[in-house]
Amino acid sequence: KDFRNNVKPNWCPGCGDFSVQAAIQRAAANVGLEPENLAVISGIGCSGRISGYINSYGLHGIHGRSLPIATGVKMANRDLTVIASGGDGDGYAIGMSHTIHAIRRNVNITYIVMDNQIYGLTKGQTSPRSATGFKTKSTPEGSIEQAIAPMEMALTAGATFVAQSFSTDLKDLTALIEAGINHDGFSLINVFSPCVTYNKVNTYDWFKENLTKLSDVEGYDSSNKEMAMQTLMKHNGLVTGLIYQDTARKSYQELLGGYSKTPLVHADLNLDQAHFDKLVEEFM
């Protein structure tokens, strides 16, 4: 299936987000989805435009709110595969509380964060992922803050699928997105996606020099949470691959009794009081 549409992305030439878009499109095709069975919900930022560039249902939401919207879409129509996406500023600053709560709920959606360690759309300010000392217009003397560690955060919040990739590793990234889609629960995939225009520190070359593939870490076991945390800490979070997966924990949908009945989107919504009461009774 072709998940490309006729909209030309207006990202800067060389932006890492192009590869993330391609990976989502390939992964959706590889898992056998039809465009009408995929919904891409995005937040605000350069990367937030991605929902308009994929041939599927899409919604370019509001800043930091892609996850509550995506959760609502999934709860109303379980037949859709739902991907939420956005940048590190979107998901780890204004949207951080939604990120944590979606993780701990284990809602069956895939969240792809395009992590470029800067705010690109607003022309280059320090983000929660910027390293201490990082100089931008908003921190001309260098950031005095500690950067958020999203993968470690996800593990402690109870995530059942945690992965990280680099936008140039298209094959690996595509495979991780496929695995995230197939995971029965919430999957967080953090993608290092360089901002070539405003971030002159965390460049493609910088990532190539500093990233370690988990497939090269001897004896790495992605079902071992303790090993996942220790490995992240040892490499300062700069690893790529499937970091952790727990296939035993049930998803939010599985635990919600009424969810097994008619999806809301197919329910008779002739909402007089009797129908409303019946709907509530079915769902509880």
Is residue 46 involved in binding ligand SF4 (CB under 6 A)?
yes
Three-class DSSP category at 139: coil
C-alpha to C-alpha distance for 254 and 249, rounded to whole angstroms: 10
Out of 58, 120, 128, 185, point to the residue binding ligand SF4 (CB under 6 A).
120
Is residue 195 involved in binding ligand SF4 (CB under 6 A)?
yes
Number of helices (H), then strands (E), belonging to the chain: the values are 10, 10
Is residue 48 involved in binding ligand SF4 (CB under 6 A)?
no
- Stretch of residues binding ligand SF4 (CB under 6 A), selected from 25-33, 169-177, 196-204, 235-243: 196-204
| Nearest by Cα to 206 from 195, 217, 218 | 195
Is residue 168 involved in binding ligand SF4 (CB under 6 A)?
no
Is residue 116 involved in binding ligand SF4 (CB under 6 A)?
yes
C-alpha to C-alpha distance for 231 and 120, rounded to whole angstroms: 30
In sequence order, which residues have a C-beta less than 8 Å from that of residue 251 and are 6 or more positions away?
A: 106, 107, 108, 184, 185, 186
Is residue 119 involved in binding ligand SF4 (CB under 6 A)?
no
Out of 198, 207, 244, 252, point to the residue binding ligand SF4 (CB under 6 A).
198
Is residue 15 involved in binding ligand SF4 (CB under 6 A)?
yes
- Stretch of residues binding ligand SF4 (CB under 6 A), selected from 19-27, 72-80, 195-203, 222-230: 195-203
Out of 62, 94, 196, 229, point to the residue binding ligand SF4 (CB under 6 A).
196
C-alpha to C-alpha distance for 124 and 20, rounded to whole angstroms: 20
C-alpha to C-alpha distance for 257 and 173, rounded to whole angstroms: 34
For binding to ligand SF4 (CB under 6 A), which residues are involved? Answer: 11-12, 15, 17, 46, 116, 120-121, 195-198
